[in-house]
Amino acid sequence: EGVLPQEYTALKLKVLEWAPKAAEAIKGKIPEDANVYLVPATLRPETMYGQTCCFVGPTLKYGVFKASEKEYFVITERAAKNMAYQGIFEKEGVIEQAAEIVGSDLIGTKINAPLSFHKEVRVLPMESVLATKGTGVVTSVPSDSPDDYAMVTELAKKADFYGIKKEWAELEIFPIIQTPTSDLLAPYLVKKLKIASPKDAKQLLEAKELAYKEGFYQGVMKVGDFKGEKVEVAKPKVREQLIKAGEAFAYSE
């Protein structure tokens, strides 16, 4: 972990329909009138227009934690502890876990993605999700994240192997940010660096660094309320908008 705290935007992706095993795991444990959210942590709130799915680590353990009477979060226990102490939960410092779900049982759960052109997306597996970072939940923006693009491409190619429906991984990828090289920077870099799968870790790291620098310093918003503004300028504005709408909150670690 670094010396400086990382300021994430934690996004609330409301569960619309549970995958069968997840439904079993939470049965009778959460009030009927409560909403449950998958809560990914992101450093790129301005890209949320481009969400196409949400990743969990298939072998990771998640808890369903009570944030307030009406809201429960699906995150790692580690993130729940951090949130409790950051005053994000209604009862400060108190961690109440209603249920436990292994990542693989969440796959296929249908969720609402705030701000996205695709309102309804699915929970899908990604082996490289770390339990030790963020919330253990990662929202997927294949237009601007090389990791995400490599993963959705792999999932669409080998849907049967991953036990998912192909169409869950094949949502249209819309351009969100224009840079000097491309308006679909992640797909462009994945092809240029000849990245064949999520296992090409070295090239993916290079692609990730290139995408992050070019997107942040030279990117211009192509969509949304801040269309035409530089990414640097739009980023905090989109973040504030999401927070004001109750669709996101600040989370740091």
Q: Is 46 in the site for ligand A2H (CB under 6 A)?
A: no
Per CB under 6 A, the list member of 145, 153, 178, 241 interacting with ligand A2H is 145
By beta-carbon proximity to ligand A2H, the closer residue of 92 and 162 is: 162
Tokens 């992101």 belong to 42
Please tell me the count of residues contacting ligand A2H according to CB under 6 A: 20
Per CB under 6 A, the list member of 25, 26, 42, 184 interacting with ligand A2H is 42
Q: Which two tokens stand for residue 249?
A: 């909150």
Q: Is 117 in the site for ligand A2H (CB under 6 A)?
A: no
d(CA 183, CA 218): 11
Binding to ligand A2H (CB under 6 A) within 171-210 occurs at 208
The sign of the CA dihedral 22, 28, 32, 35 is negative
CB closest to ligand A2H, residue no: 134
At closest approach, how far in Å is the CB of 220 from ligand A2H? Answer: 15
At closest approach, how far in Å is the CB of 152 from ligand A2H? Answer: 11
Q: Is 103 in the site for ligand A2H (CB under 6 A)?
A: no
Q: Is 63 in the site for ligand A2H (CB under 6 A)?
A: no
Q: Is 43 in the site for ligand A2H (CB under 6 A)?
A: yes
At closest approach, how far in Å is the CB of 179 from ligand A2H? Answer: 13
Single out the segment in contact with ligand A2H by CB under 6 A; choices: 39-47, 80-88, 97-105, 223-231.
39-47
Q: Is 252 in the site for ligand A2H (CB under 6 A)?
A: no
Task: Enumerate binding residues for ligand A2H (CB under 6 A).
Answer: 6, 41-44, 47, 129-130, 133-134, 136, 138-141, 144-145, 148, 208, 212
